[in-house]
A and B are shown apart, each in its own frame.
Chain A
């Protein structure tokens, strides 16, 4: 077994040339249980945080500014946030790619799909952003993702436990998660609405099919086998 894994790993490394081992999240760290707020208001607040904070380094490239109208943001607000970008432009990071790559060693990942790109995505994002702390040397560190290169953008580690500031950061993170859940799957609500009708239709159809089946099969008597003889009507 181990040999096979070694061979596979060696093949992979040889094939790819480099296979850098990177800092990874700590799977054992418990994720916070959260209830995703799917209200338009929460998504809008989250969108503002995403644009003003996350998009310093990250992009939401599968969204266009025009899509923000779908979460109820007013046209004026969208115009404000998009700046020089067109309505059909994608939500790319404000910082040029080279600068970001230089700062962090790699391009920070696009966030559009983040909540479906991790196991328990919404909980993962929420926990990641609320598990920053200051180590004894006053450096930012993260419980969930030791060695993470992303700074504590939401400012969680600078708030006192139990303070109103911390509660506010948590609320902001929660709003951001609401926005990101929507961004990862903007059609989710349409899908579920259609789904209800599709399933209702299928249940009615299947019931009718069952009744027709019973009617047709009434002509066929069951094969009865009793005491070793086959009985027929």
Chain B
């Protein structure tokens, strides 16, 4: 009966084909480590947010006079409303945590490199969409930080030359953040997640075309790939279990950890909080904004701090395969970068006073400096590797890759890699 039904569907829709192609026969390198779990986790949190958000929207009122109270209505009167809201507010932070780890993994293992540039760029578009969605969602509770955060961020667009004021008014729908702003942010906050779902679809299509990278950064031969199902379905599910334990610990035992106390005060346009801080996931970028002593420059630097990631495939001129594993200089740079982002987050959270201003400026300088130094350093590293040769493990893997390529027309051909490799190998053998 089931077989017959599936047969009936298969005649009209490639169901079995899809399951085969995307799951049971989709090849994944068998040496992936647990850092490769976070893409799936991000997708899972997206669906948690969608689901909890739809239920919140059933009880929320996007009106300046009712928004704050409607949240308390959800927290107190709606059955398990507190659970839904805390899942959604914790989920927002978890989403960023997972996505940041996912991006850090991509940087460390060089997954942005050829042929995965489009995969990387669609990921960056996703990050921007996520940030926009989170920013708009944060206004909805209509607390003090919601209001003043939105006020500050929207006013940043006022630094645009000539059209600044018009753009700000267009964004807010009013001269100040008010009812028009709240209503449109609500509408867009409901819309954007579906755009994100579509963008995730594109991201996954791109992934399934080029396939996953792996810690070695060298394309493994066919027999070293194993089907996604059951190996990675079970691995992802186990990772999901660990993630859900952490997630639930926050939802049930520390939900207010992610909510700033100021946001439990209703928005008051007459009272400016002494110290306006964005959510933690915006802190590094906020620190960069404040570190530039010129308003327009700060805004440009803030946007550049994210957009510059898109240039990674060009900035990284190394021909050594993979990411940090076989690249000592690059590895140090990634570590410095991660520490620098933490420093920026700290600076962003504190009022800009005294030596913190200087630290913020130095950290901003280091942030962009690392990107701009990358072409030079990756070239140098390349030369050094040509002299010393790659580690035997890399050479062995690459020899296999070359053998396989010579036998098949694989679309992951990496001529440049092979060139370096053959040179490195000759040197390595001579020594």
Which A residues contact B (CB, under 8 angstroms)?
A: 1-5, 7-9, 11-12, 15-16, 18-20, 22, 24, 62, 109, 112-113, 116-119, 121, 184-187, 191-192, 194-196, 198-199, 202-203, 205-206, 209-210, 212-213, 216-217, 220, 222-223, 225, 227-230, 232
| Nearest 7 pairs of A and B residues by beta carbon | A195-B252, A228-B392, A206-B241, A117-B264, A225-B393, A209-B238, A11-B155
Give the residues in chain A near B298, CB-CB below 8 Å: 4
Give the residues in chain B near A187, CB-CB below 8 Å: 75-76, 82
Q: Are B252 and A192 in contact (CB under 8 A)?
A: yes
Q: Are B235 and A213 in contact (CB under 8 A)?
A: yes
Interface centre among A4, A16, A195, A199 (most CB of B within 10 A): A4
Q: Are A1 and B291 in contact (CB under 8 A)?
A: yes
Residues of B within 8 A of A (CB-CB), count: 65
Q: Are B175 and A220 in contact (CB under 8 A)?
A: no
Docked pose: A3 CA to B291 CA in angstroms: 11
Docked pose: A225 CA to B216 CA in angstroms: 11
Residue of A nearest to B175 (CB): A15
B395 contacts partner chain A, Cβ-Cβ < 8 Å = yes
Residue of A nearest to B30 (CB): A220
Q: Are A209 and B241 in contact (CB under 8 A)?
A: yes
Q: Are A220 and B270 in contact (CB under 8 A)?
A: no
Which B residues contact A (CB, under 8 angstroms)?
A: 30-31, 69, 72, 75-76, 82-83, 86, 148, 151-152, 155, 158-159, 175-177, 220, 223-224, 226, 230-231, 234-235, 237-238, 241-242, 244-245, 248-249, 251-253, 255-256, 259, 261-262, 264-265, 269-272, 274, 289-295, 298, 352, 357, 392-393, 395-397, 400
Secondary structure call for the B interface: helix
Q: Are B231 and A121 in contact (CB under 8 A)?
A: no
Q: Are A220 and B294 in contact (CB under 8 A)?
A: no
Give the residues in chain B near A5, CB-CB below 8 Å: 290, 352
Q: Can you name 25 A-B pairs with beta carbons within 8 Å?
A: A4-B294, A5-B290, A8-B155, A11-B155, A16-B269, A19-B272, A20-B271, A62-B69, A62-B72, A109-B265, A116-B264, A117-B262, A117-B265, A121-B261, A187-B82, A191-B255, A192-B252, A192-B253, A206-B242, A209-B241, A213-B234, A213-B235, A213-B237, A217-B231, A223-B30
Q: Are B176 and A16 in contact (CB under 8 A)?
A: yes
Give the residues in chain B near A7, CB-CB below 8 Å: 159, 295
Q: Are B245 and A216 in contact (CB under 8 A)?
A: no
Give the residues in chain A near B31, CB-CB below 8 Å: 222-223
Q: Smallest CB–CB gap between A27 and chain B, Å?
A: 9
Give the residues in chain A near B270, CB-CB below 8 Å: 16, 18-20
Q: Smallest CB–CB gap between B363 and chain A, Å?
A: 13
Residue of B nearest to A228 (CB): B392
Docked pose: A70 CA to B119 CA in angstroms: 54
Give the residues in chain B near A109, CB-CB below 8 Å: 265
Q: Are B274 and A24 in contact (CB under 8 A)?
A: yes
Give the residues in chain B near A199, CB-CB below 8 Å: 245, 248-249, 252
Give the residues in chain B near A185, CB-CB below 8 Å: 75, 256
Docked pose: A39 CA to B332 CA in angstroms: 54
